[in-house]
Amino acid sequence: MKIGKSVLCILAVSVLSGSICLGYEDEGFQWWTSAAASFEIAENWKGTFGQEFRLGDDGGNLYYEHSELTLTYSGLAEWLDIGPAFRLVYEKDGNDDFKRENRPQLNVTIKGKVFDLGVSSRSRFEYRDRTDKEDVWRYRNKVTVKFPCELTALKLKPYIADEIFITMNDDNVDRNRFYSGATFELREGLDMDLYYMWQASRSSGEWKDIHVLGTGLKFHF
């Protein structure tokens, strides 16, 4: 079992280092940073409030911000989380004006373990109520694999994830995100997430890539 975990750790380190190197081959990158707080509401109910900021042009231009409130119910089964969420988005358009989008969501997450790996599959159904474009429904599925090891003195816990986006008006995959990162505990009740993300998005029949360095803080109450 220890040998198997060591192999998984080596693979995780290879993926992390390879992905980060890939990110800096591009002409520029984006920096996404977030902070969230989770708290118990009642038995089997948890609430989470978070904010995220995205900076483009090599991390120097704020073009996107969202605030999000999520409710999660885990009382149906150990392997299932379900709950509604609402995200308020402000994103710049071509004229550098911030446009508002209301985005109610429903999240359904199946989780478990496969060969000591922590595996989850989150399905998200969201309605995009946009001020300057047609309103649309979108489906997102994010599969995350957490490795059963801790790296360096910080006890980094590596993971990889992949997320697809399907706009339900045309039933086509129009975005894909691949994540490679690690979480660790800064202190009791406060976790840090560091990750690299490659995103491919389809626009006007063409696929465009961006590379992202991401940081996230999460408080647990």
More confident residue, 171 or 106: 106
More confident residue, 96 or 101: 101
- Contact between 140 and 123 under an 8 Å Cβ cutoff? The reply is yes
Q: What per-residue confidence (pLDDT) applies to 204?
A: 75
What the chain holds in terms of domains, given with CATH numbers, is: 2-220 (2.40.160)
pTM for the whole thing? 0.86
CA distances from 172 to 78, 160, 168, 198, 205 (A): 32, 24, 7, 19, 11
Confidence bin at 28 (pLDDT 50/70/90): low
Mean pLDDT (the chain) is 88
